[in-house]
Every structure is written in C-alpha cells, then in structure tokens.
A and B are shown apart, each in its own frame.
Chain A
Amino acid sequence: MKFTKDQMLKLYEELVHVRTMNNKIVEFIFSGRIAGAIHPSLGQEAIVAGLLYAYENHHQTVYRSFTHRQQAIMARSAGIDGFLAELMNRATGTLGGIAGEYHLVKIDKLMLPLSGVLGVTPPTATGFAWSLKLDGRKDAVVCCPFGDGMMSEGYVYEAMNIASIHKVPILFVIENNGMAMTTPLEWESPIEDLYLRGISAGMKGASVDGNDIEATVEALMEGLDQAGKCNPNVIELKTVRWEGHFVGDKQEVYRDLSFRDNLDKLDPVLRYEKVLLERGVANEDHFAKVKADQEKIMAEAFEKAASAPFPKKEDFLNPNIVYTNTDGLPIK
C-alpha cells in the first residue's frame, strides 16, 4: 500500500491526536478531575491511530470492540463530547454518565460492549459478527482488538475457535505491549508471537511492528478486507507500554524500566516525524502546528466535559435500566 501525501499527513495528525488525548487524561487524573483507574495508550499511539484510520477508510462499516487503551477510538465512535463526559462520569455523557468508560456499549455508534472483566470481548464480538452473517449483511464487519494479557483467557481461545469454524466476519487484533498488567510476557506466554494462537485455530495471521503507523495500517486494512469476506483472521501488533497499567500505577516495583532509556527510538510519533522529514512530506513547523491544534481541541473538549453536572442519585438507581420489564422486581 502506497500512501499519498494527504494520507501521510492524516496519519500523523491521528498519531498526535491520540498522544494529546493520552496526555490530557493523565493531566486530568493528577488534577483530580477524572476518577477511577484509567488506562491511556502512551507509547502505543500507532495502534490506536492505525485502527482509527482503518475503521474510517475500510469500505465496509466496522463494528468494533475496544481495549481499555483506546479512548480516542471510543471518542471518535461516540462523539468526543459525549465520550469525555462519560469518562468523567457526567450526566451529559453518551450513556448519561451511568456506564463509565470501560462499560460502554452503543451499538448504533458501532460500539460493541466493553467489559470490566477481561476476556469477554472476543466471544461477544464473535457472536455479533455471526449475527451480521446470519442477516446476510455484506456491508459490515467486526474488529476485536485486545491485549497480550487477555490472550491468556480461555474465552479468547474459545472465541477464535468458534469464529474460525463458522467463518464469521471478524478481525482479531492482538495489541502485544509485553505486559499483562504487572506480568511480563515471558511469564504469561511461552511463545513470543501470540498470533500463532490464531493460526492454531485455523485462521490466517501476521505479526507486525505496532510502533510503525504505516505497517500497522497496511496490516489492518488487509485484515479487515479478509474478515469482510468471512475469512476471520488475526493481526498481532507489537509495541511497548511506557507507563504503569493505569495512571498512577508504580510500575518500577515490578518492571525493569531500562527500555525507557531509548524511548525516542520506540516513540511512534517521533518515528513518523522522522519518516515524513526524510520524505520531504512535512517539516518541523507543520508538526508544531498539528500539536498546537490538537492541544487546543483537547483542552477545550476536556474543560467542557468537566464542567457538566454529575448524574443524580435517581439516575443511578433507576429500576428501568436494570430490567426492561420491572414488574415484581423493585430495586429496594
């Protein structure tokens, strides 16, 4: 796949967009304006930006699951104002601030359910992809990204197996950042290439440098193309998690941090800047402008969300959101 100049600039903008959102989330957590454990994708922006680009440029509608590091995709799917308000537990959120970031589900915005319990999204997304096939829909496909940590859940094996037997239109994306919460890859898997687990389920698969935005997009576009023809497949994107599992997690107690001496070499944003400079596609002034623009967009959006009210007690305790028919089922 050869990218045009406009496409390269778009990819760069998406990278900066994701990085800026990550930084803003960290800023708002440390200033006490976002509660709960949130898991931004610092260092893994090429995967998030690559998925965003692939979703918006694939020829079919892409229903998507999420990892807990894909806030920028949640925001693009739900609308940034609604998503940020949901992230901050505000009544103006996509789901009234009731669900919270890591329980979101909004099918009409292509968002398949997130889950606070790991392992669930692959079989759920497989079932949803199956429904598309049963409906005879040729216009839609499912993408299900998850981390190397989730790869150890039995659910994932069962989902890949069922998806492959029934040839449902789904792409599994393994975001392999080498850390399962606090456990390094060597203690979570005896094999380094996790896409092989998909191969063993009879699917095609590949492993790609997930810090290379162009390689990531190429692999995802090909994977979605195949999935859309009911050839479920798996793409592993290798990357490195820079920070702790969640914002505030003191990773130095469980992790060798020597990789941080070479962050510039890993950094997907810097790496792509270098590529664009070498190709003469953009210069430092352009990079600075994109960063300033994104900072402005994010600062305004985050402030707006944070100024909204919280849901009321009766919104949280509404019996009609527990059951469709509440006859005989009072919540108190």
Chain B
Amino acid sequence: MAEMTGTKAFNVAMKELMEKDDKILVLGEGVGRKGGTWGYFADLWTTYGNSRMIDTPIAEAGFSCVGNGLAYGGYRPVIEYMFADFSSLGFDAIVNQAAKARYNSNGELSLPITFIMPNSGGGKSGNQHSQSVEAWYSNAPGLKIVTPTTPGDVRRFLKAAILDDDPVVFMHARGMMFMSEEVDETDMSIPSLANAGKIVTEGKDLTIVSWHRMLPRCLEAAAEVTKETGKTIEVIDPRVLLPFDIDTVVKSVAKTGKAMVVHEAPARGGFGMQVSAMIGENCLKDLKAPVKRIGGYNTSIPFGVGEEYAYPQVEDIKVGIMELLK
C-alpha cells in the first residue's frame, strides 16, 4: 500500500499504461515538458518525448479532431482539456465525430480515444473554469462517461477508460486531486465499466448516490444525521455514469425505500435527473417518498470568494436528508 494523491494516482496510471502500450499518445496544452497543468503527466515527457507527449497549440477543436484522426490510424490518443469547461471547443469532435465513428462504419471500426475533463470547482476560478459537465455528454450515444472520485479509483478507472475500445469522456474532481489515501499499488486489475457502482457506507434508511466533491460532503452529512438520529444511510459512488450501474442502486433502494442524488452540476438538466428517473422507473413499489435531487444552483458559478455559494454544502445535504427521513 502507498499513500498517494489523486494527481499522483493519475500519473502512476499513465506511467503503467504508456510503458505497456506504445500506441498511447497524449495531446493537450502543456502536457509535454511541463507535465500537464495539474502535474498529471509529470516525468512522462522525459521518457516518451515529443512523439508521445504532444504539446499542442491552444486549439481544442483542432487537437480533439486530430486525436480522432490518430485513433483512425491505429493509435490510442488521450486528449486533455485542462478544464472540463474548455471541452466545449472540442464538442463537435467528441459528440458528432468520435461518438458516431463506429456507427458510421456500420460497426467495422472502434475509436479508442479518451477525453480527459478536469471537472468541478474548488479553485475559485468562476463560471468558465469550474463546471461539472457530465450532462453535456450524457445525451450523445456512442460515448461512455467515467467519473471516479478517490485516488485509488482514479488510478484504476483511468486505465479502464483508456484501454476501452470506445470513446470515453473521463471526468474527475479537479478540486479533490490533492487529497490522498492509501492505494494498493500491486492491484493491476482493470475494472469493468459496467456494474461499477460502489457502496461506500452501508445503511438501511436512505440511499444517496453521489460523486466527486459532493461525495465526501454526503458522507459527512450522513454521519452527522446518524449521530443525531441513529438512522443509517447507504452512500453509493457510481464511479461510472455511462454505463450506469442501476442494479446496485435498485438493490439499495429496495432495502431503504428512499433515495437522493447529489452532484455539483446545476440540478436543472443535471445527470441527477437521469438517476432520479431510473430509480423512479425501477423502484416505484419500494419508494416511500419522491426521489430527492440536490445539485448546484441554476446559476453561474461565482468568481472568487463567492464560489461555494452556488454549490451544495454539507448543511444543505443534511437538511435534504432530514426531510426525506421524516
């Protein structure tokens, strides 16, 4: 076991992958000599040089599509956007091109490309550097969306994303990458993207589905509620949004009868709507209350000191839990 941050876990996964598969290339702004804006690619340029760690011009649309072209040519490109918000300039390359590549070949080819999107706030950088954009990509069949939260999961699910033969949008909580945990470095298994849901804490009175920066807030709120009321809460980290592990959630709700989904993106149109609908469709007989959604406010994320006003806080989640447990 080794203590590592999310950033280190990302870097370790990249090293493990690039050593084994020389078709893996990384394209993005500052991914070469600098080792990536966030340090995810530290030391890789020294080993792999300009041909595999490719510093691009500031041209997200162009280098996203160039990545698709490299994938058509047999490579396994990893495209990094620095901030998930910037992927909007690569949107066509992702949703119109990569997502449709297999269909437009009538299933003859696969396009193994991974788009790395550092999601979330925490940097006080305002409304164009702090968004969580899961929902932007969830309505484009052909894409998979992988969203691990902890360092150990970042390491394993990043490998699963890059080794997957379909285009994958990989989103992680940029604002949590400095946090660390014990990671089993010897575990070289590659997790399946299907059935990826993980029960983080067991409980019998309420099911919460949450990921990224809202996950620790849910755990904290749940612990406080348990301390105050004695009621226990089951918290599930889906780890992958597409394909979504609905079975793990359904089993939990069958036991608890109540469900809540919490994420950082605005509640309106957020992926929580999809989770809530799936729980409604699959668990109607078990539900003792309507599914509750807590998301960011439907507003722009404030710049600087105002940032957290727009995101759900532990207290907001706790109030939501108490309402559901009534």
A: residues with CB less than 8 A from B are 95-96, 98-99, 103-107, 112-113, 115-117, 119-120, 123-132, 134-135, 154-155, 157-159, 161-162, 165, 318, 320-325, 327-329, 331
Contact = CB atoms under 8 A, between A and B. Distances in A.
A134 B245 CA distance: 39
Contacts of A158: 57, 59, 61-63
Given A158-B62, A162-B59, A117 B243 contact: no
A132 B107 contact: no
Contact of B73 (A120, A127, A159): A127
26 contacts: A95-B105, A95-B108, A98-B104, A99-B104, A105-B104, A105-B105, A106-B105, A116-B96, A117-B96, A117-B97, A120-B93, A120-B96, A123-B93, A127-B67, A127-B71, A128-B70, A131-B74, A134-B51, A155-B62, A158-B61, A161-B62, A162-B57, A320-B107, A323-B102, A325-B193, A331-B141
Interface in B173-216: 192-195
B72 A120 contact: no
B66 interface: yes
B106 A96 contact: yes
Given A162-B63, A327-B192, A127 B245 contact: no
B104 A162 contact: no
A113 B99 CA distance: 13
A113 B59 CA distance: 21
Nearest to B60: A158
Interface in B208-233: none
Contacts of A112: 69, 72
Interface residues of B, number: 50
A107 B142 CA distance: 20
Nearest to A99: B104
A316 B101 CA distance: 15
Q: Most chain-B CB neighbours within 10 Å: which of A103, A123, A159, A161? A: A123
Report, nearest first, the 5 A-B pairs whose CB atoms are least far apart: A127-B69, A131-B73, A158-B62, A328-B243, A123-B65
A123 B70 contact: no
Contact of B104 (A95, A123, A129): A95
B244 interface: yes
Interface in B79-122: 92-93, 96-97, 100-110
B57 A159 contact: no
Given A328-B194, A328-B243, A159 B106 contact: no
B103 A135 contact: no
A132 B70 CA distance: 9
B93 to A, nearest CB: 7
A140 B77 CA distance: 21
A162 B141 contact: no
Given A115-B96, A159-B62, A161-B62, A104 B104 contact: yes
Nearest to B50: A166
A328 B244 contact: yes
A130 B50 CA distance: 13
A125 B166 contact: no
A131 B166 contact: no
A129 B109 CA distance: 18
B282 interface: no
B308 interface: no
A327 B64 CA distance: 26
Interface of B: 25, 51, 56-57, 59, 61-75, 77, 92-93, 96-97, 100-110, 141-142, 144, 164-166, 192-195, 242-245
A107 B63 contact: no
B242 A127 contact: no
Contacts of B73: 127-128, 130-132, 134-135
A98 B195 CA distance: 31
A180 B258 CA distance: 57
Contacts of B65: 120, 123-124, 126-127, 155, 159
Given A95-B104, A120-B92, A327 B57 contact: no
B243 A161 contact: no
A105 B101 contact: yes
Given A115-B96, A130-B73, A162-B62, A325 B165 contact: yes
A130 B93 contact: no
Given A125-B69, A155-B62, A105 B56 contact: no
Contacts of B142: 322-323
B61 A123 contact: yes
Nearest to A155: B61
A127 B68 CA distance: 7
A329 B196 CA distance: 13
B106 A321 contact: yes
A132 B41 CA distance: 25
Contacts of A99: 103-106
A131 B245 contact: no
A155 B65 CA distance: 9
Q: Most chain-A CB neighbours within 10 Å: which of B57, B243, B244? A: B243
B66 A130 contact: yes
B66 A324 contact: no
Contacts of A116: 96
A125 B74 CA distance: 13
Nearest to B165: A324
Contacts of A127: 65-73, 77
A328 to B, nearest CB: 3
A131 B97 contact: no
Contacts of A154: 61-62
Contacts of A106: 105, 108
Nearest to B70: A127
A327 to B, nearest CB: 4
B158 to A, nearest CB: 17
